Amino acid sequence: MKTKAAVLWEVNAPWSVEEIELDAPGPGEVLVKIAASGMCHSDEHLTTGDLPFALPIVGGHEGAGVVEAIGEGVSWLSVGDHVVFGFIPSCGRCPSCSTGHQNLCDLGALMGLGLQISDGTSRHHAQGKDLTLMCMLGTFAHHTVVNEASCIKIEKDVPLDKACLLGCGVVTGWGSAVYAADVSPGDTVVVVGVGGIGANAIQGARLAGAKRIVAIDPIEFKREKAMEFGATHTATSMTEALPLLQDLTWGTLANKVIMTMGVGDGQLMGEAMALAAKRGRVVVTNIHPAFEMGGANMSLLDLTLMEKQVVGSLFGSGNPRADIPKLLGLYREGQLDLDGLVTKTYPLEGINEGYQDMRDGKNIRGVLVYE
Amino acid sequence: MKSKAAVLYGIDQPWVVEEIEVDDPKANEVLVNWKVAGMCHSDEHFVTGDMVPPKELLAMMGVDDFFPFIGGHEGAGVVVKVGPGVSSLQVGDHVSASFVPSCGRCRYCSTGRQNLCDLGAGTLTGGMITDGTHRHHVKDGRAVKMMAKLGTFSEYATVAEASLIKVEKDLPLDCVALVSCGVATGWGSATSRADTQPGDTVVVVGIGGIGVNAVQGARMAGAKHIIAIDPVEFKREKAMEFGATHTFSSMTEAIPHLMELSWGQMADRVIMTPGVLHGDMMGEAMTMVGKGGTCVVTAISPMDETSADINLFQLAMWQKEVKGTIFGSLNPRADIPRLLDMYRVGDLKLEELITKRYPLEDINEGYRAMREGENIRGIIVND
């Protein structure tokens, strides 16, 4: 069949919205009519080359839609089911999946190839070429064919243009606070960078009972947004935050520091560590350039003597199959704000405008909504 | 196809070894040739009726008669045929049975608690996990239920993919069979559920196929004292071989010694693994638990027993806890291979667990020996 998709043909070029050819789903695969897709910073990393994936590629990995057809052997989805895509697949059988760490599913190893999990080929084609898929999903398109391992079935009462955010940003941010940082009631938490991830780290810290949440962002609009999501204080930089934090905590500093910037910078780790209290934990959630030079600038003596911890986190250390339905439940009960995350919606054709708005710091989250 | 199987036709009857009919696997099912079956106490609970659901409960589940029933849930075998849609197994693969299935997709599987997989809900109701219909029939054509939907007391059985764990072929199948239930349950009771820490004092009550592995688990977790309690001398001797430091014939006998040994602090962990647990045993068990200590209930109690002798004042004031466990709170897909690898490097004793091997025809003799306390574990071997 034919569908429309945003394709990246080369690095540093705009997204090309064009008609592509889509094959029928193979064994274990489903055809999904996508309703909406979040515009995550990670897809921007494709265009800058920070994430060196094979091109041409259909971007997008934060999506939700309705199953239109199923391939042979699909056992847990039916036509008409509503699904959110997990940006990491979960097979349910590998050692990571079997011990409650689906975010580290062994199938994730195939992600960089952007081809189908079942047989390593492509179902998407344009201009006579095979297309790869961002995170094996390709949600910047009206339809896609993906493996059922990447689909999480959800209830039909949740609007898909909100549910799509659960595929990446919301769980990543929320889980960074709740699981990776393990925020406890009474904690002082710092969130560095208030975009689609950081805003949800704030929501997670609030729900986990943090006493103070200090949100750091240079952009005033984002600091205002942070207060709406539950921050108690804001600062424009870590340098500015340090004296504030010293004052607020009677010198004991932050129990948890969560790094959720647009792009991480190893040279800033020293400043981040300086915000952490004795036994404080710094969570690195944001993407650093794959070939970042110079490593991380931090004192290892400080690490030992103050028993500080540095913890990495992927998908907020959550389990897509458990946490996506769990967070939609919180949304339903009014304890998780998804509506407030969406600053602006765009049609697929508006994708380049949307990313320009992101670069200009105008959006917490832009969302592509397809008719 | 035809298969030899041990069928139970009612409570307090012997196992009848006879030929049954086994249907081919349908979607997401696998035909397994069970090579080895462990003779676990849980299967005996169906003979005594302890685990046979009462009529009213069966009626609620839409089941009119619990029998005929094929026992066996500890097992290892070889895949003979695979049905459509099976993706994790091929013909010739060696497999371990897993008495709790693991779908890999429900809330519990998705959070590292496969032992609580939602598919386990139908364990005692009969019918396949996949579609609820039956693949096994006795001579008169009646459908026969399978213990844990595995029926390892049959030479051949059609089993859902969700209940099978692939294992490497270098591992002896008799060792695989033991790990599939008893070893994992006992070992995990001490490590995962009791969370035994280096330096702890641990008491294990009842040294059968489960208890002896709780002793092994406590040893590997670094327990300082491991006190094994069993009335049978042979089992107390076995416990010492598996890492116990002290043994006693009863809780009553153990209590004053435990008090002295621990300078009055009593045990950090008490693990209950007798053949059958009754509520009136919990009083002494909780007496052995120290301040802030943990009592893990692993053993099967009669289904209709609803009271336990526990002093709740002491529970609160001394911050004790009582925790249940199934499958030692482990994840079958991760932990069965993990335990077998500990066996490979020599950390986990498995061969030493096997007291005697029986052909399927001698199953009743094997269970007699178990009841008399002659076996740590008897196994059925199909040649």
| Measured distance CA(B171)–CA(B180) in Å, rounded | 13
User: What integer pLDDT is reported at residue B59 of this predicted model?
Assistant: 85
User: What integer pLDDT is reported at residue A41 of this predicted model?
Assistant: 86
Query: What residues have CB less than 8 Å from B222, skipping those under 6 apart?
Result: B196, B197, B198, B199, B200
**pLDDT higher than threshold 90 for residue A210:** yes
| Measured distance CA(B194)–CA(A116) in Å, rounded | 43
**pLDDT higher than threshold 80 for residue B118:** yes
Q: Which residues from A are below 8 Å from B166, CB to CB?
A: none
User: What integer pLDDT is reported at residue B373 of this predicted model?
Assistant: 87
Tell me the helix, strand and coil percentages in chain B, rounded to 5. 35, 25, 40
Residue B378 banded pLDDT, cuts 50, 70, 90: very high
User: What integer pLDDT is reported at residue B54 of this predicted model?
Assistant: 84
Locus of tokens 């498995």 = B350
Q: Answer for the pair A347, A328: CB distance below 8 angstroms, yes or no.
A: no
Residue B55 banded pLDDT, cuts 50, 70, 90: confident
| Measured distance CA(B263)–CA(B285) in Å, rounded | 18
In this predicted model, what pLDDT tens digit does every residue of B127-152 receive, in sequence order? 899 999 999 999 999 999 999 999 99
| Measured distance CA(A36)–CA(B56) in Å, rounded | 49
**pLDDT higher than threshold 90 for residue B109:** yes
Residue A105 banded pLDDT, cuts 50, 70, 90: very high
Give the CA distances from residue B113 to residues A266, B61, B103, B110, in Å, rounded to whole numbers and listed in that order.
36, 25, 11, 7
**pLDDT higher than threshold 90 for residue B260:** yes
| Measured distance CA(B120)–CA(B71) in Å, rounded | 17
**pLDDT higher than threshold 90 for residue B124:** no
Cβ–Cβ of A99/B334 closer than 8 Å? yes
The residues in B 74-93 lying below 8 A from A, measured between CB atoms, are: 84-85, 87-88
Cβ–Cβ of A319/B111 closer than 8 Å? yes
Q: Please state the φ and ψ torsions of residue B43, each to the nearest 5 degrees.
A: -70, -35
In this predicted model, what pLDDT tens digit does every residue of B162-221 receive, in sequence order? 999 999 999 999 999 999 999 999 999 999 999 999 999 999 999 999 999 999 999 999
A95 contacts chain B (CB < 8 A): yes
A147 contacts chain B (CB < 8 A): no
For the annotated catalytic residues of B, the residue numbers are: 40, 42, 45, 73, 181
| Measured distance CA(A317)–CA(A107) in Å, rounded | 16
Query: What residues have CB less than 8 Å from B292, skipping those under 6 apart?
Result: B268, B318, B319, B320
**pLDDT higher than threshold 90 for residue A371:** no
Cα B314 from chain centroid (whole Å): 31
Mean pLDDT of all residues in A155-163: 96
pTM for this one?
0.87
pLDDT exceeding 90 applies to what percent of chain A? 89
User: What integer pLDDT is reported at residue B104 of this predicted model?
Assistant: 92
Q: Please state the φ and ψ torsions of residue A282, each to the nearest 5 degrees.
A: -105, 120
| Measured distance CA(B221)–CA(A186) in Å, rounded | 33
Q: Please state the φ and ψ torsions of residue B16, each to the nearest 5 degrees.
A: -105, 120
What are the tokens at A340? Answer: 């407030």
DSSP string covering A91-107: -S-STTGGGT-GGG-GG
Residue B49 banded pLDDT, cuts 50, 70, 90: confident
What stretches of chain A adopt beta strand conformation (E)? Answer: 2-8, 16-22, 29-38, 57-58, 62-70, 82-85, 124-126, 129-130, 132-133, 143-147, 151-154, 188-192, 212-216, 233-235, 254-259, 276-284, 309-312, 342-346, 365-369
DSSP string covering B72-95: --EEEEEEEEE-TT--S--TT-EE
CB-nearest partner of A76 from B27, B87, B105: B105
- Partnered with residue B33 across adjacent β-strands are B78, B156
> Closest-CA residue in chain B for A100?
B112
Q: Answer for the pair A187, A166: CB distance below 8 angstroms, yes or no.
A: no
DSSP state of B154: B
Query: Which residue ranges form the domains of chain A, and what is each CATH number?
Result: 2-167+338-369 (3.90.180.10), 173-313 (3.40.50.720)
Give the CA distances from residue B224 to residues A335, B196, B203, B216, in Å, rounded to whole numbers and listed in that order.
47, 10, 11, 13
**pLDDT higher than threshold 80 for residue B125:** no
User: What integer pLDDT is reported at residue A356 of this predicted model?
Assistant: 95
Nearest alpha carbon to residue B298 among B154, B186, B180: B186
**pLDDT higher than threshold 80 for residue B283:** yes
Tell me, what amino acid is at A10? Answer: E
User: What integer pLDDT is reported at residue B243 of this predicted model?
Assistant: 96
Residue A237 catalytic?
A: no
Locus of tokens 């033991």 = B178
In this predicted model, what pLDDT tens digit does every residue of A61-76 receive, in sequence order? 999 999 999 999 898 8
Measured in angstroms, the CA of A28 and the nearest CA of chain B are apart by 9
**pLDDT higher than threshold 90 for residue A290:** no
Which alpha helices (H) appear in chain B, and where do they start and end? Answer: 41-48, 55-60, 173-178, 184-188, 211-220, 233-241, 251-261, 282-288, 312-317, 332-344, 363-371
DSSP string covering B162-177: GGEEEE-TTS-HHHHH
Residue B41 banded pLDDT, cuts 50, 70, 90: confident
User: What integer pLDDT is reported at residue A52 of this predicted model?
Assistant: 84
Q: In what order do the strands lie in the sheet with A212-216?
A: A233-235, A212-216, A188-192, A254-259, A276-284, A309-312
Asked if this assembly's ipTM is beyond 0.90, the reply is no
Locus of tokens 């693990």 = B271
Measured in angstroms, the CA of B85 and the nearest CA of chain A are apart by 5
User: What integer pLDDT is reported at residue A79 of this predicted model?
Assistant: 98
| Measured distance CA(A55)–CA(A259) in Å, rounded | 29
Q: Which SS3 state, helix, strand or coil, does residue A328 take? A: helix
Q: Answer for the pair A215, A233: CB distance below 8 angstroms, yes or no.
A: yes
Number of residues that this document lists for chain B: 383
Cβ–Cβ of B111/A100 closer than 8 Å? yes
User: What integer pLDDT is reported at residue A60 of this predicted model?
Assistant: 97
Q: Which of A97, A151, A164, A168 is catalytic?
A: A168
Q: Answer for the pair B171, B16: CB distance below 8 angstroms, yes or no.
A: no
| Measured distance CA(B13)–CA(B27) in Å, rounded | 35
Tell me, what amino acid is at B334? Answer: A
| Measured distance CA(A36)–CA(A25) in Å, rounded | 20
Mean predicted lDDT score pLDDT of chain B: 94
**pLDDT higher than threshold 90 for residue B122:** no
Measured in angstroms, the CA of B99 and the nearest CA of chain A are apart by 16
| Measured distance CA(B365)–CA(B373) in Å, rounded | 12
Neighbours of A294 (CB within 10 A): 8
DSSP state of A25: P
> Closest-CA residue in chain A for B337?
A95
**pLDDT higher than threshold 90 for residue B256:** yes
What dihedral do alpha carbons B3, B6, B9, B11 form, nearest 10°? -160
User: What integer pLDDT is reported at residue A190 of this predicted model?
Assistant: 98
| Measured distance CA(A85)–CA(A30) in Å, rounded | 12
Pairing of strands B69-70, B145-146: parallel
Mutate to test the interface with B, among A77, A88, A98, A155 (most CBs of B within 10 A): A98
What dihedral do alpha carbons A344, A345, A348, A354 form, nearest 10°? 0
A77 contacts chain B (CB < 8 A): no
| Measured distance CA(B332)–CA(A166) in Å, rounded | 29
Cβ–Cβ of B84/A73 closer than 8 Å? yes
